[in-house]
A and B are shown apart, each in its own frame.
Chain A
Amino acid sequence: MILPCPPLDRSEALRYLGVRGEAPDDVTALLSKAEALLCEKVKPRYVWRALDPPPKFPGEDLKRHLAGCRTAVLFAVTLGQESEELFRRAQSGDMALAVTLDAAASALTESCCDLAEAEIRKAFPDRYFTFRFSPGYGDLPLSVQRDMIRLLNAERLIGLTVSPSDMLLPQKSVTAILGVSDAELPKARRGCALCRMREQCQYRKAGEHCGF
C-alpha cells in the first residue's frame, strides 16, 4: 500500500547530520534541496498483518513487550528503491548532498512509520497499543527480519527484501511489531535499564540508543 510522502521532520534530519544548535544557512539550503529531491522521487509503501496469537520469535524482551496482548500487528515500511538511486548518484557527484539525502531519508522513514501506525490503529478502535518493537531491539535478533518479511509477504506486496546479512533492502525500511490489547496497558517501560543486552550493546557503548 502506498503512503503519502510525509513532510520532512527537519529537526530530526539535522540531528542525524550531527547539527547542534541553529543550522547554518548552507546546511538548511542543502536540506531543502534534499527534501525536494526525495519528495519528488520517493514512494513510501507499507504492509501490515494482524496475527492472533502473536508469532513466536526468539528472546525474552519481545515476549515481555507483548505481555497481555492477544494480538500482534506486524508491519513493514519502506521508502522504496527510488530513494537509493538518489544516494548512489549523489555519492559520485556531491557527497555533501549524499549525506544530507541520507539523513533526510532516515527522518522520512521514521515519519512514515508514524503514519503507518496511525493507519493501523484506525483498524482497531477502542483497543490499546504497545510502542513499536523492531528486530535488533533488546534481545530480539536481526535474523527475525527474514521471518517478518515472509509473514508479511513483503517482497511481493511492497518490494522489501532481506540480504544474507539480515539487512533490509531497500535500506530505508523498517519492520516492527505492535502489541494490541483489549485492556489498557501499563505505561510503556523502555530504555537500557530494562534491556537484557545492555552490557554487550554496541549502540549503548557508542552513547546511542537502539530505540527500545
Chain B
Amino acid sequence: MDFNRFWILDGAMGTMLQADGLPLGDRPELLNLTDPDRITAIHRAYIEAGAEIIYTNTFGANGHKLAGTGHTPAEVISAGVAAAKKAAGDTVLTALDIGPIGELLEPAGTLLFEEAYRLFAEQVTAGVEAGCDLIVIETMSDLYEAKAALLAAKEHSSLPVFVTLSFEETGRTFAGCGVDSMAVLLGALGADAIGINCSLGPREIRPILEKLAKETSLPLIVKANAGLPDPATGAYGVSAEEFANEMAAIADCGAVILGGCCGTTPAYLKALRARLPEKPCRKAVSPVPALCTATRTVRLNNIRVIGERINPTGKKRMQQALREGDFSYLRQQAVAQAEAGADILDINVGLPGIDEVETIRRAVRAVQSVTDLPLQIDSSEPAAIEAALRLCNGKPIVNSVNGKQESLHTVLPLVKKYGAAVVGLTLDENGIPPTAEERLAIARKILSAAEEYGIPKEDVLIDCLTLAVSVQQKEAGETLRAVRMVREELGLQTVLGVSNISFGLPERVEINRSFLTLALQAGLTLPILNPNIPAMMDTVAAFRVLSGKDAGAEAYLVLMAERTEAEKTETEALTLPHAVEKGLDTHAADLCRAALQNGDDPFYLINGVLIPALDRVGDRFGEGKLFLPQLLRSAAAATAAFGVLQEHFAKTGGGAPTKGPIVIATVEGDIHDIGKNIVRVILENYGYRMIDLGRDVPVQTVVDAVREYKAPLVGLSALMTTTLKSMEKTIRALHEAELPCKIFVGGAVLTPEYAEEIGADYYAKDAKASVDIAKRLLG
C-alpha cells in the first residue's frame, strides 16, 4: 500500500444501524446473515462519501461473542465480507474488522492467550477465505490481546494488518497500555500501520497521536468518535464540520489513514475528505531503542539491571519449586527483584529431566502476572524459547544466540518473528576465544547475521562473557577490553553475567561489585546480577550519578531516603517469638540467625519457639483480639525465620520433615483467590508442603494433582454463588476417581451446611480453621 497519500476509512456501522432501529444491545453482526442488503447499503453510503477502505460488519464476530446465537464466526464473517465487497467493487478495499473478544485475558481475567489466539485465527481464516483485502484489529485496550490478534493475522494470511487501540484522555488504555509500549511491540511484531480509534473525539485524540508519532515511523491511523457520548442518551456531540476540522489538524500531526468511529455518519466522512490537505506530512523518527511490556517501556539509554534470581543453577529452593510446579515461589522472586529495582527479569528454568517447554510457559505466565518488567527468556532450547516468546506480554530479550552457525540460524528467525531483542554470546564452534579482538570478531559476525534476518542493530546486545577470576585471572581484563571494543566499535548494548566473576572465592559480593564498577566504566549497559543485594544496586545507582545518567542525583537521593526510612523500625530489645507475634520479618530472620549462631537446636526453634508463637497469634485471631492483616504479618515474619532455618539445613543436611502434601485450588470459573492464598501462607508456616494449583482451576487438574502427589488433603475455595457449582463438580470428580483424600472447603458464600451438602469433609471458616483441620488429619 502506498502511504505517501491519504487513505480515507469509513465511519461508524453501529451508529447507522441504531439510527435505523437496531435495538440497543442487539448484535449488529447477525444482520450480515438476516439482512445483508441493509449492510451493503451502509457501506455504499460511506463509499459515496469518499471512503477508500471499508471495515466489514464483523467487529464482534468471534466465537466467544457469537456463542448462543446459533451462528459460527465463519458464517457471519463470510456474509459480512460478501456484503462489503458487493459495495466495494474494484476500487475500494475491504478490511476484515476484528474487535476485542469481550473477555479479559489473564491475569486480569481467565481467558488464556492461546485461546484468544485461536479465536482470532478463526476470524482471520474466515476473512481471508471470503476475500478481504486487509485485516484491521481495532478498539483494543489490552496490548496482549492485540498481540494475539496480530500474531493470528500474520500466521494465517499475508495481507496488510492495521492495529488500533482505544485510549482514555490520560493517554492510557483501560488496561493501562501507553503509546510507547504500543509502538514498541506492534512495530516489532510487524504491523503495517498503527493508530488510535474510538473512546474519544478527535480533539482528545490529537495529543495522544502527537506522542505516538514520536514513537514510531509506521503509517498512523486515526478513527475518532464524534466527540464524547451524552451519558443519558448515548448521543455524540461533535458536528460533522467540527469533526472534519479537528481531523485535518490530526493529519497535520502525521496521520495518513483517517476515518470515523462511534457517532460518525457519511456526512462526517464527506466533510473530512473535503478538509484534507493534498499530501500527508509524515516525518520519519528514530525513537530510543526499548523493551516493553503492555504497561511499561524500558528504554535502553541508561544502565538497566537484569535480575538473575529466576534460574535454578546452584539454587536448591528454585530447583525444588520448578520440579514441584510451585510457581508462587517464582512470583515471589519476581516481585522481590522488581521491588529491589530490577529493570528486566531473566527467566531460566532449565533443569535435567524437566519439561522445559511447559515449565517456561508456566513461568512466563506466573512472572508477568505480578510484575510489569520486560523479560529475558534464557534458554538454549529453541522450542522453549519459542514457547516463551509466544506468551510473552511485550517485547522481551532472548538469551541467547552465539556465533555458531547452527545457533544463528535457529535462534535469529525466532527473534525476528516475535520482535524480540537478542543477547549474542561471543563464542563459536571453537569455544570462547581468549582475546578481546577475537570476541569482537564474533560479535561482528552475530550482528551481521542478525541484520540479514531483518533484526535492527539496536536489538542486538552482546555478552562478552564473564569467566571466574579464580580460574582464569587474566581474562577478566580481556572481558572488560572486549566490552569497551563492542561499545566503541560496534555501538551495541552490552550484557554481562556479573556474578560469574567471583565463582570459587569467598565474600563474593566484594569481587562482584568491584568488577561491576570496572565493567560499567568499560561500557557495560545491561548487567545481569542479583538485585536483592543492596551493595550491587548501590553500585549501579552510584555509577548512574557519576556518569551523569542520574541527573541531579535525583534517583540516588530517593533510593537512599527510602533506605533510611526502612531502617527506622524499632530498635528495642526483641525476642524471636515477639518478632513473630508483632509481625516484624527482618527482625525475625535476624533473631533466628543469631539463635542458630548461639547454638540453639533448629528443631527446638521450630517446635519450641516459632510454632507456639504462631499458635498464640492464631488463638488471639480466633478470639477476635487480633485481625487478619496482623495474622498475615506474623505469618510473614515466621516465614522469614523458617527461611533462615532452611538455609541452615541446606548447608548442614537434614531438615524438618514436611507434612502433607496438601493440594489447594480456587475452583474453575473463579478468580477471587485471595482467601486461598491466605490459607496457603498460613499452612506453609505449619510445615505443610503446599501444592497450589492457582485460580480458575479445571476439575481434571485438581484430580490429576491429587493423584500425582498422593495428597491426603485437598482445599478448595470459591467466592461466587455461580462458582459453587464448580466446587461441587470438583468434589464429585474427586470422589468418582476414588482418591483417598479428605476435602476441606471455604469461601464467603459457603456455609457448613452447604459444604456438607456438596460432599466436602470439612468446612473451614478461615485460615485458622484450616490449620486445625490439617493438624487433626496430618498431625
Contacts and interface: CB of A to CB of B under 8 A. Distances in A.
A49 to B, nearest CB: 7
A123 B232 contact: yes
Given A99-B629, A161-B103, A156 B139 contact: yes
Interface string B415-459: 000000000000000000000000000000000000000000000
A30 interface: yes
Given A98-B677, A164-B669, A171-B671, A151 B753 contact: no
Given A151-B24, A169-B108, A171-B672, A49 B723 contact: no
Contacts, number: 169
Contacts of A93: 332, 335-336, 339
B583 A96 contact: yes
B234 A17 contact: no
Interface string A1-38: 11000000000000001111001101100100000000
Interface string A92-111: 11111111101000000000
Nearest to B667: A165
B346 interface: no
A100 B175 contact: no
Given A95-B681, A169-B104, A27 B627 contact: yes
A82 B176 CA distance: 7
B231 A48 contact: yes
A107 to B, nearest CB: 14
B328 A47 contact: no
Interface in A43-59: 43, 47-51
Interface stretch (A60-68, A185-193, A199-207): A199-207
A156 B722 contact: no
Interface stretch (B153-161, B213-221, B729-737, B744-752): B744-752
Contact of B583 (A26, A100, A164): A26
B175 A81 contact: yes
A121 B659 CA distance: 58
A165 B723 contact: yes
Contact of B677 (A84, A95, A205, A206): A95
B174 A159 contact: yes
Given A50-B232, A99-B628, A167 B671 contact: yes
B472 interface: no
A80 interface: yes
B139 to A, nearest CB: 7
B749 A49 contact: no
B652 interface: no
Interface string A61-90: 000000000000000000011101101110
B370 interface: yes
B231 A47 contact: yes
Contact of B630 (A43, A80, A84, A96): A96
B198 interface: yes
A184 interface: no
Contacts of A84: 108
Contact of A202 (B103, B331, B369, B724): B724
B720 A92 contact: no
A115 to B, nearest CB: 14
Contacts of B103: 161-164, 169
Contact of B751 (A49, A91, A206): A206
Contacts of B626: 24
Contact of B332 (A18, A92, A136, A158): A92
Interface in A165-196: 165-167, 169-171
Residue of B108, B166, B671, B726 with highest tally of chain A CB at under 10 A:
B108
Nearest to A145: B722
For this complex, into which size category does the number of interface residues on chain B fall? 35 or more
Interface stretch (B406-414, B596-604, B631-639): B631-639
Interface in B95-131: 100, 102-104, 107-110
Interface in B639-692: 669-672, 674, 677-678, 681
A47 B751 CA distance: 35
A126 interface: no
Contact of A89 (B141, B233, B371, B751): B371
A43 to B, nearest CB: 7
Contacts of B550: none
A167 B108 contact: no
Nearest to B339: A93
A72 B345 CA distance: 51
A147 interface: yes
A151 B25 contact: yes
A163 B695 CA distance: 14
A127 interface: no
Nearest to A50: B232
Contacts of B629: 17, 26-27, 30, 96-97, 99-100
B372 A96 contact: no
Interface string B706-724: 0000000000000011111
Interface in A126-142: 136, 142
Contacts of B280: none
Contact of B721 (A18, A24, A81, A136): A136
Residue of A23, A92, A155 with highest tally of chain B CB at under 10 A:
A92
A89 B110 contact: no
B627 A19 contact: yes
B314 interface: no
A26 B345 CA distance: 33
B754 interface: yes
Contacts of B233: 50
A49 B669 contact: no
Nearest to A100: B629
B229 interface: yes
B176 A96 contact: no
A170 B331 CA distance: 21
B636 A96 contact: yes
Contacts of B753: 205
A59 to B, nearest CB: 14
A62 B314 CA distance: 62
Contacts of B632: 95-96, 98-99
A209 interface: no
Contacts of B335: 89, 92-93
Contacts of A151: 24-25
18 contacts: A2-B168, A18-B627, A26-B582, A26-B629, A88-B370, A93-B339, A99-B632, A99-B678, A123-B232, A136-B721, A151-B24, A153-B234, A156-B139, A161-B109, A163-B110, A163-B669, A202-B721, A206-B748
Interface of A: 1-2, 17-20, 23-24, 26-27, 30, 43, 47-51, 80-82, 84-85, 87-89, 91-100, 102, 123, 136, 142, 147, 150-151, 153, 155-159, 161-167, 169-171, 202-203, 205-206, 208
Given A98-B677, A202-B749, A205-B751, 18 more contacts: A17-B629, A18-B627, A26-B583, A26-B630, A85-B176, A89-B335, A91-B370, A92-B331, A92-B370, A95-B635, A95-B681, A99-B629, A165-B669, A165-B723, A167-B671, A167-B720, A169-B104, A202-B751
Interface of B: 24-25, 100, 102-104, 107-110, 139, 141, 166, 168-170, 173-176, 198-199, 229, 231-234, 262, 295, 328, 331-332, 334-336, 338-339, 369-372, 582-583, 624, 626-630, 632-633, 635-636, 669-672, 674, 677-678, 681, 720-724, 726, 748-751, 753-754
